[in-house]
Amino acid sequence: MQKFNIKTQLRKLYCIDTFGALMIAGGSWVALLAARGFSTFEIGIFESIFHVVSMICEVPSGALADVFGRKKSMVMAQIMSMLSALIMIFTDSFFTISIAMGVSALSYNLASGTREALAYDSMVLAGTQKDYEKFISTDMIIYEIFSSSATLMAGVALMLGYKRAYLIDIIMGSIALIFALSLTEVHAKGHETMTIKSRFKDVVYGSAKFIKENRKARLLIVFNALIGAVAVLIGFFLQAKLPEVGLRPVLLGPALFTIGIFGAIGSKTVTFFDRCRYRTIGLVSVIGVMLAFLSVFTGHPYIMILGGCLASFSDSFIEIRSDVVLNDMIPSGQRATLMSINSFTYSVFMIILSPIFGYIFR
Model confidence pLDDT, tens digit, residues 94-126: 999 999 999 999 998 898 778 888 998 899 888
**Cβ atoms of 40 and 361 closer than 8 Å:** yes
**Cβ atoms of 121 and 186 closer than 8 Å:** yes
Question: Distance (Å, rounded) from C-alpha 223 to C-alpha 322?
Answer: 9
**Cβ atoms of 296 and 238 closer than 8 Å:** yes
Model confidence pLDDT, tens digit, residues 38-90: 887 888 888 888 878 877 887 777 777 777 888 999 999 999 999 999 999 99
DSSP 332: G
Model confidence pLDDT, tens digit, residues 152-195: 787 788 889 889 999 999 999 999 999 999 999 887 665 555 55
pTM of the full structure: 0.74
More confident residue, 77 or 361: 77
Question: Distance (Å, rounded) from C-alpha 142 to C-alpha 21?
Answer: 9
The confidence band for 341, taking pLDDT boundaries of 50, 70 and 90, is confident
Rg of the chain over all Cα atoms, to the nearest angstrom: 19
For residue 181, what are the contacts with CB-CB under 8 A and spacing of at least 6? 75
Question: Among 229, 239, 230, which Cα is nearest to 30's?
Answer: 239
**Cβ atoms of 310 and 260 closer than 8 Å:** no
Which residue blocks in the chain are alpha helix, DSSP H? Answer: 6-21, 24-27, 29-35, 40-68, 70-89, 94-111, 114-126, 132-152, 154-160, 162-181, 196-213, 215-244, 252-269, 278-295, 301-329, 335-360
Question: Distance (Å, rounded) from C-alpha 262 to C-alpha 312?
Answer: 6
